[in-house]
């Protein structure tokens, strides 16, 4: 018999199916965990060791109480990017939430930027979301509901030195977000972008390690120096904070948020 004094566990995404690209680490994994915690079934995508991926699928399945799988598409390949959503639809029969998170970057002055790397960055950061969105929308329209969340960057709203390809790709992703939002404005499908500043991922910690070695300072001091350089708050964003914002965009409260580019940047753009 249920205890009337104990509130039932609320799992508002039970019955929903989510695809999160680049979800085996960092921001994508945090978003996948957050969606699983609310009962969503999950299609993960990203690279990793086979045994670790099996363990990840099992742990997220236990958290969600629903089916979880891993689809190992290389999204820098347009054919694999275009085939990813059809694989999800084949396995789950539907797709309700699409999170385009997979991305990469290259740092160098533009005159030294390898053209091949430019093509790779555009393929993963911008072309792949184009393919996943265009293949997901028909099913979302048929279902009468959907959430598309593009993980852009503060560099999708501002420029940056030695980041020409990354800045261009993320500006393009914000523009794609707005275009799709207008095309779906009369439906229960929304499309929004999250634009984080510096996030405490492996890249951040790797850069801090390099700075610590170069300057002969502690890693903690290096982390603080990097954060303070961009973020007026002096703090980096955690992947879990990005995930919480993604959950909000999936909620009914965010049903009229359309085409927004939400900065989560410690005051970066307020200067």
- Domains contained in the chain, number: 2
In tens, the pLDDT along 135-168 reads: 999 999 999 999 999 999 999 999 999 999 999 9
Residues 6 or more apart whose Cβ sits within 8 Å of residue 91: 43, 69
Same domain, 189 and 253: yes
Tokens of 186: 């009369």
Is residue 7, in this structure, part of any structural domain at all? Answer: no
Same domain, 121 and 185: yes
211 versus 154: the higher-pLDDT residue is 154
Compute the mean pLDDT over every residue in the chain, rounded to the nearest whole number: 94
Q: For a pLDDT cut of 70, what percent of the chain falls above it?
A: 97
Same domain, 22 and 124: yes
Residue 139 is part of which domain span? 17-197+238-264
Is residue 5, in this structure, part of any structural domain at all? Answer: no
Of 67, 155, 166, 205, which is the active-site residue? 166
Is 166 a residue of the active site? Answer: yes
Query: pLDDT confidence of 6, banded at 50, 70, 90?
Result: very low
Query: H/E element holding 263?
Result: strand 261-264
| pTM higher than 0.85 | yes
Q: What is the pLDDT of residue 9?
A: 65
Give the pLDDT mean for 69-93: 97
Query: pLDDT confidence of 119, banded at 50, 70, 90?
Result: very high
Is residue 53, in this structure, part of any structural domain at all? Answer: yes
Query: H/E element holding 84?
Result: helix 78-92
Same domain, 146 and 158: yes
Give the pLDDT mean for 1-15: 66
Query: pLDDT confidence of 3, banded at 50, 70, 90?
Result: low
Same domain, 192 and 204: no
Terminal-to-terminal C-alpha distance of the chain: 57
Q: What is the pLDDT of residue 1?
A: 44
Residues 6 or more apart whose Cβ sits within 8 Å of residue 184: 137, 146, 190, 191, 258
Is residue 124, in this structure, part of any structural domain at all? Answer: yes
């Amino acid at each position: 018999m249920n205890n009337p004094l104990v509130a039932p566990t609320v799992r508002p995404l039970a019955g929903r199916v989510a695809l999160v690209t680049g979800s085996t680490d960092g921001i994508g994994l945090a978003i996948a965990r957050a969606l699983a915690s609310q009962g969503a079934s999950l299609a993960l995508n990203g690279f990793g060791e086979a045994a670790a991926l099996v363990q990840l699928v099992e742990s997220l399945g236990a958290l969600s109480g629903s089916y979880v799988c891993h689809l190992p598409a290389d999204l820098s390949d347009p054919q694999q990017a275009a085939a990813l959503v059809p694989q999800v639809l084949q396995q789950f029969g539907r797709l309700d939430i699409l999170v385009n998170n997979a991305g990469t970057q290259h740092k160098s002055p533009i005159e030294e930027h390898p053209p091949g790397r430019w093509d790779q960055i555009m393929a993963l950061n911008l072309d792949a979301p184009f393919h996943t969105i265009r293949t997901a929308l028909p099913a979302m329209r048929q279902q009468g509901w959907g959430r598309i969340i593009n993980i852009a960057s503060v560099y999708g709203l501002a420029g940056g030195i030695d980041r020409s390809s990354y800045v261009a790709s993320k500006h393009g992703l914000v523009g794609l977000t707005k275009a799709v939002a207008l095309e779906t404005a009369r439906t229960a499908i929304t499309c929004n972008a999250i634009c984080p500043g510096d996030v405490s991922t492996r890249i951040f910690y790797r850069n801090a390690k390099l700075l610590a070695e170069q300057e002969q300072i502690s890693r903690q001091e290096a982390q603080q120096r990097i954060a303070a350089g961009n973020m007026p708050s002096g703090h980096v964003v955690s992947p879990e904070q990005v995930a919480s914002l993604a959950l909000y965009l999936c909620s009914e409260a965010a049903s009229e948020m359309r085409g927004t580019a939400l900065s989560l940047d410690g005051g970066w753009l307020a200067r």
